[in-house]
Structure 1
Amino acid sequence: MNTKQLAYFLSTAEQGSISGAAKTLDVAQPAISLQLANLEHELKIKLFERNFRGVALTSAGEQFEEHARLILNQINQAKLALIGQQTQCKGKVVVGLSQSICNVLSIQLQTELEHRFANVELTFRVGPSYMVENWFAEQQIDIALCYNAELNKNAANTLPLLSENLYLYISPRPKNPSYSELSLFGSIPFESLQDYELFMPDKRDALPELLVAQAEKLGIKLKTRNAFGQLMTTLHYVSQGFGLAIYPSSATCHLEACQQIRAINIIQPELKRDVFLRLSDHQRKNAAVAAVFELIRETTANLHADHSWRGTLLDTKYRQSSVINVESAVAG
């Protein structure tokens, strides 16, 4: 059953004939007849009695007419509410996030925003995790995507978003001879990472803190070298076969898709880190900020579903893409 069938049914009932409905709706008679036949087949009831004057509702058809009008009215109200919400959402929204999250999230988020909320201007402020936390504390950004569990765990207006997997990344064709054996690995114990030199971001960032803490638990020390200032520069160096790095799939999804880089699972233990979505207190009632906040939640769920951003989805509101389903229903 769909809204087109309901509209054809109600118009036919009002006009008392299929030809009258066709003229009112500016639709060919066979198209209306087909939709009505499909509707009766699905409901397994006869909705109309045909006679020489046209059609008349059966008793079952009269009962169904009430429900059909109610359904279409509710859908129209939902459509008006959505249109009104989109019209109200105006202004600029600043989102602070790391380079890796920006890599996976920005294009899809911006595309969805332009499609649904054309009057909202979105700005990304990209930096290391500790800088994102500072920007948020100083109210320089409206929304933040953060990693610091202690800061975010019990904070108001904070949502655990995703527990992302971390991988060791290597070129499919390593040029460093010491990486040759790694090219055959599907997984590697964390303890074995001490045998290889790894690119490492600024030690104040969340990723080095996690890796160093895990190494200390196992009583080992990792060999590191400073990563290049930009994530893409570091990944380009790795993809050319000259280095190794540990990142989430959000940082590498575009390179993995074209097989320029390969992920090796880290085990014993498996490495994960939680991503938190934070909404600034001073923007809680801002409709544009609220719209972007919800779109980030939905986009994250979609990226997780297509394996671009791998891990455990902690925020399950949009696991089944419920917003898309609502919009499809409104569109009929």
Structure 2
Amino acid sequence: MDIRQLRYFLEIVEQGSLTAASRTLNVAQPALSLHLRNMEERLDTPLLVRKANGVEPTEAGEILRSRARSILNEMERTEDEIRNLDKSPGGAVRLGLSATISEILTLPLIDALMERYPRITLNIADAMSGFVTEWLEEGRVDLAVLYNTSAGGATNADVLVEEELVLIQPPDKPIAKDVSLRCLSEAPVILPSKGHGLRDLIESAARSRKIEVNVAMEIDSYRNTKHLVAKGFGNSVLPLHAVINEVSEGSLAYANFARSELRRGAILKRSGTPSRAQQAVEETIQEVVSDLVQSGNWAGATLSTSLT
């Protein structure tokens, strides 16, 4: 197999059909079919399953898709490194951000990078941490800043901050200054679906205290969660910085959990060997995060000892 075949195969899988891949690659469909057939003969296994509405990768095809993306990314990074040895870091860096982190980090990070490294193009995508983790594992992003809620989940990562989670409620309901985790069983709660880090963290903490969380709705969007809480559909749990503006405006209220019962770490995680541009982005992220916490703009967060 050569690099061209890997590019063709990856485009076919991502487009979901040879016809669509033929258009985006500007390569005749019979030529794509021939490349695919040659790859399958070389590997002695089918790579795609033909269906009425397109194609899907087989198990072998899934393996090749993952490896192909990594190989092509590494080739791109290598070429960029060699071309720019005598210049400041440059090129594209793809960054995945947890949605709540994105709102506070994106603007100051872009400002800092434009000033320090104008040759770097930063591509940012945000979602809940579970989705960002998948992007990193699939090679869709080079770096990610997301929440780490499992003891074994911080491989190839640096802890940036630890932040406190708070109970949020509609502003028209009385709320104590400090609450117990037991309040999560006493009133309806809006949480992400099972498998997302925030949900797992909350339910794990509740189980350890023999508390059953009264989950009223599962919403995989913290923006929609805030709207639903404000309208009185239930309470929720979010980091303080994600609701501080709404609290100031009077559309939400919050309470701390007694003894800071719910905390989680935000980590900077990387995929593979970083390029010079990725290293520059990593260093800038660490500096910007430190500034945000020390200035009080990342409410409820404390810096990791590695950044202090």
TM over 0.5: yes
Alpha-carbon shift at residue 250 of structure 1 (Å): 3.4
Alpha-carbon shift at residue 115 of structure 1 (Å): 2.2
Provide closer, same or farther for how the CA distance between residues 256 and 192 of structure 1 changes in structure 2, counting only shifts above 3 A.
Answer: closer
Greater gyration radius: 1
Provide closer, same or farther for how the CA distance between residues 315 and 260 of structure 1 changes in structure 2, counting only shifts above 3 A.
Answer: farther
Are positions 1:290 and 2:289 aligned together?
Answer: no
Partners of 1:159 and 1:278 within 8 A in 2: yes
Are positions 1:312 and 2:302 aligned together?
Answer: yes
1:188 matched to which residue of 2?
A: 179
Alpha-carbon shift at residue 89 of structure 1 (Å): 1.8
Match of 1:299 among 288, 300, 305: 288
Mapped to 1, the partners of 2:288 and 2:101 lie a distance apart of 12
Amino acid at match of 2:288: T
Mapped to 1, the partners of 2:184 and 2:96 lie a distance apart of 31
Mapped to 1, the partners of 2:85 and 2:249 lie a distance apart of 39
Amino acid at match of 1:302: D
Provide closer, same or farther for how the CA distance between residues 254 and 123 of structure 1 changes in structure 2, counting only shifts above 3 A.
Answer: farther
Alpha-carbon shift at residue 257 of structure 1 (Å): 4.2
Mapped to 2, the partners of 1:257 and 1:140 lie a distance apart of 37
Provide closer, same or farther for how the CA distance between residues 238 and 86 of structure 1 changes in structure 2, counting only shifts above 3 A.
Answer: farther
2:167 matched to which residue of 1?
A: 168
Cα deviations by residue, 1:56-100 (Å, 9 ceiling, x for unpaired): xxxxxxxxxxxxxxxxxxxxxxxxxxxx99951211111112111
Mapped to 2, the partners of 1:316 and 1:85 lie a distance apart of 29
Q: As a proportion of its length, which structure holds more helix?
A: 1
Provide closer, same or farther for how the CA distance between residues 260 and 226 of structure 1 changes in structure 2, counting only shifts above 3 A.
Answer: same
Unmatched runs of 5 consecutive residues or more in structure 1: 1-83, 175-179, 320-332
Alpha-carbon shift at residue 240 of structure 1 (Å): 4.1
Partners of 1:304 and 1:313 within 8 A in 2: yes
Provide closer, same or farther for how the CA distance between residues 207 and 116 of structure 1 changes in structure 2, counting only shifts above 3 A.
Answer: same
1:159 matched to which residue of 2?
A: 158
Larger mean CA deviation between 266-275 and 95-104 belongs to 266-275
What RMSD over aligned residues (CA atoms) do the two structures have, in Å? 2.4
1:250 matched to which residue of 2?
A: 241
2:188 matched to which residue of 1?
A: 197
Are positions 1:239 and 2:238 aligned together?
Answer: no
Residue 287 of structure 2: SS of its match in structure 1?
A: helix
Q: TM-score normalized by structure 1?
A: 0.61
Mapped to 1, the partners of 2:295 and 2:245 lie a distance apart of 13
Alpha-carbon shift at residue 101 of structure 1 (Å): 1.0
Partners of 1:163 and 1:275 within 8 A in 2: yes
Provide closer, same or farther for how the CA distance between residues 87 and 227 of structure 1 changes in structure 2, counting only shifts above 3 A.
Answer: farther
Provide closer, same or farther for how the CA distance between residues 229 and 219 of structure 1 changes in structure 2, counting only shifts above 3 A.
Answer: closer
Residue 150 of structure 1: SS of its match in structure 2?
A: coil
Residue 151 of structure 2: SS of its match in structure 1?
A: helix
Q: TM-score normalized by structure 2?
A: 0.66
Alpha-carbon shift at residue 161 of structure 1 (Å): 1.1
Mapped to 1, the partners of 2:199 and 2:86 lie a distance apart of 41
2:145 matched to which residue of 1?
A: 145
Cα deviations by residue, 1:8-38 (Å, 9 ceiling, x for unpaired): xxxxxxxxxxxxxxxxxxxxxxxxxxxxxxx
Residue 114 of structure 2: SS of its match in structure 1?
A: helix
Larger mean CA deviation between 298-307 and 195-204 belongs to 298-307
Residue 110 of structure 2: SS of its match in structure 1?
A: helix
Unmatched runs of 5 consecutive residues or more in structure 2: 1-83
Mapped to 2, the partners of 1:261 and 1:306 lie a distance apart of 23
Mapped to 2, the partners of 1:116 and 1:269 lie a distance apart of 38
Partners of 1:297 and 1:315 within 8 A in 2: no
Provide closer, same or farther for how the CA distance between residues 200 and 303 of structure 1 changes in structure 2, counting only shifts above 3 A.
Answer: same
Mapped to 1, the partners of 2:218 and 2:87 lie a distance apart of 44
Amino acid at match of 1:299: V
